[in-house]
Amino acid sequence: MNGEPQGVTSAEPIATRSAAPMWIIVATLVLLFLGGYYFDRHSGWFDARVYAPYANAENLEAFQPKSGAAAALARGKNVYNGVCGICHGPDGLGKPGQAPALAGSELVNCKGISRLIHIPLAGLSGPITVAGKDWNLNMAAMGAALPDEDLAAVLTYIRSSWGNTASPVTGDDVKKTRGQIGANPQPMSGPQTMSQPE
């Protein structure tokens, strides 16, 4: 602006004294009110679990998936990994010398479920042919200790995984078969299993 040494005037600036106009104070109060309303609608009121787009805790609870096919499958998968997968393999392909494959097995993929439920409830011992391969092993009654719903879930999981497409198994089916077999069943033999009605 100017290049002289006394470029800056020696007088200090002063401020004219007057009050803030009313309209800006009113505008601020209106904005505060609208802000409060917005906060009420969208904040979930400090709930640590409510994230946008859920409006509040009830909204979030309403969208939790109810037990259904997916839940059963998830549960079945858990049980499988803990109980059956050790021998039958995490991918259902079985392990030679330990257990036959469940993927593509005709024992798994049949329409009826009674025969299939017998196997984990009673056990299976002796020669049997599954998917063209011969097996001669012992399977303990791995499902006898499981609750009905868990056994139903794992059988449903097996019947709908790895290419298997068969109908689900319900807890009632398991309960019925358990009643038929009795408390301490003997393991079935291979021919005995194959001759069971499906």
Partner 1 sequence: MKTGISVFVATLVALGASWCGFVLLPLLQFGGAKQTVVLQSTDTWPVQRTGAATLGLQAYRANGCVACHTEQVRQTGVACELTLTSLGVQKPADFKDFTRSLFVLPELAAYTNALTASLNGWNGGLPQTLLTSADKDLIAEMADRLKAVGVKSETRIVSTGADVARGWGPRQSVAVDYLYDQPVQLGSLRAGPDLANIGVRSPDANWQLQHLYAPKSVVANSTMPSFKFLFEVRKIVAAPSSDALNLPKEFAAADGFEVVPTPEAKQLVAYLLSLKANMPLYEAPFTPVTAAK
Partner 2 sequence: MNPTENQSFCPDERDASLRVPLLALFGGAALWLIVGLGLGLIAGIKFHAPDFLGGCPLLTYGRLAPAANDAILYGFCIPAALGVALWIFARLSQAPLALPLVPVVAAHLWHLGVFIGTATILLGGSTGQTWLEYPRAAAVLLFAAFFLIAVSAAATFGWRRERSLYPSHWFLFAGLLWFPWIYSTANLLLNCNQPPRGIVQPIIGWWFANNLVFVWLALMGVGIAFYLLPKIAARPLANSGYVLFSFLTLMFFGTWCGIPQGAPVPAWLPTVSIVAAALTLVPLIAILMVAVKTVCGACVSCQGGPFCYLNFGLMSFLASGLLYVSAACPQYSRILEFTWFGAAQTQLQLLGFAAMILFGAIYELMPSVMGRPLPLPKFAKLHFWLAMLGVLLFVVPLLLAGVVQGKHLADATVPFADVNIAALKFLRISATGQLLLLLGALLFAANIFLMTLQWKVGLIKTVIAYIKSPLATTEVKS
Q: What are the residues whose beta carbons fall under 8 Å from the beta carbon of 168, sequence distance 6 or more? A: 69, 72, 152, 156, 159, 160
Residue 157 binds to partner 1 (criterion: CB under 8 A): yes
Task: Check: CB of residue 71 under 8 Å from CB of residue 168.
Answer: no
**Phi and psi, residue 91, nearest 5°:** -110, 15
- Binding map of partner 1 across residues 20-59, x = CB under 8 A, - = no contact: --------------------------x-xxxx-xx-----
Measured from the CB atom, is 17 or 111 closer to partner 2?
Answer: 17
Q: What are the residues whose beta carbons fall under 8 Å from the beta carbon of 106, sequence distance 6 or more? A: 130, 131
The distance in angstroms from the start CA to the end CA of the chain is 101
Instruction: Return the one option of partner 2, partner 1, none that residue 13 interacts with (CB less than 5 to 8 A, by type).
Output: partner 2
Residue 45 binds to partner 2 (criterion: CB under 8 A): yes
The identity of residue 117, as a single letter, is I
Q: Which stretch binds partner 1 (CB under 8 A): 29-37, 135-143, 160-168, 170-178?
A: 160-168
Which of 40, 91, 106, 172: binder of partner 1 (CB under 8 A)? Answer: 91
Task: Check: CB of residue 59 under 8 Å from CB of residue 47.
Answer: no
Instruction: Return the one option of partner 1, partner 2, none that residue 74 interacts with (CB less than 5 to 8 A, by type).
Output: partner 1
Q: Name the site residues for partner 1 (rule: CB under 8 A).
A: 46, 48-51, 53-54, 60, 62-71, 73-75, 77-78, 91, 157, 160-163
